[in-house]
Copies of this chain bind each other. A is one copy, B any other.
Amino acid sequence: MDDTLAPTSDLNDVEARLALPLAEAMLTQRAVRRVQPDPVDDRIVLRCLELALEAPTASNGQSWEFVVVKDRAVKASLAAQYRRVWRLYGGLGRLVKTDEQTAKIRKSVHWQVKHFEEIPVLVVCCLRGGARVPFVPNPPFVASSHYGSVYPSVQNLLLAARSVGLGGALITMPLWSNTVARRILKLPLSVEPCCIVTLGWPKGHYGRKARKPIGTVVHLDRYGQQPWRDEAPG
């Protein structure tokens, strides 16, 4: 499968790549954290964001905001936050025995943490307003609807990036302190930073991922009733 596409800034190229068959885009989507430091044309980022805006939101509120970070100083401030939490989290990770897959992910996150300022584009995906007051509990249904109004668009952004041939990865760790993240990005209190999509022309590759068999996570009518448990994977 042709999963490495050369960097481009030709918009006709970009449109042709965005015609990738849907199933293929999904099957070959994966976190590509290792990217080249070369710039990505703004128009490509905007085109991917345009497709992100086609995703659904609760009550069609479209209460999203996207901060495209290219300024090295802003990236460095977010990198410092990422390093702070990674020192703890990655350190804990080293203490537990992990399988090969997890070790591979940790190594690639480690690369990302180290090279964060060199990643050409960070898209900070935010939600405006919303029902969530920090540290005041909400019923889960409210929180779910809230975040359910940004992550479908984040997934569109990642799928669009994959089709165009951009390396993309979804992270939240640099935002562990909302207060600091708000200060770095000059976000008003009414705007919550939810996650970051990193973008750049890949050093890594797209391609198939290991997944648990579908019959183990799909139930019929009631939890625990799993008629497709022994189904062969498609």
Q: Which residues of B contact A177 (CB under 8 A)?
A: 139, 141
Q: Are A54 and B27 in contact (CB under 8 A)?
A: yes
In contact, A234 and B135 (Cβ under 8 angstroms): no
Q: A interface vs B, CB < 8 Å? A: 15, 18-27, 29-31, 46-47, 49-51, 53-56, 58-60, 62, 64-71, 74, 101-102, 105, 132, 134-137, 139-141, 143-148, 150-152, 154-156, 158-160, 163, 170, 172-173, 175-178, 185-188, 191-192, 194-195, 209, 211-212, 214, 217-224, 228, 231, 233-234
| 10 other A-B residue contacts (CB within 8 Å) besides A15-B23, A46-B218, A50-B233 | A20-B22, A29-B55, A46-B234, A50-B234, A58-B172, A62-B211, A67-B219, A148-B172, A151-B154, A191-B223
21 contacts between A and B (CB under 8 A): A19-B22, A19-B24, A21-B21, A22-B159, A26-B55, A29-B55, A30-B56, A31-B56, A46-B214, A55-B155, A59-B102, A59-B105, A60-B105, A64-B217, A67-B221, A74-B221, A139-B178, A148-B172, A148-B195, A186-B222, A191-B223
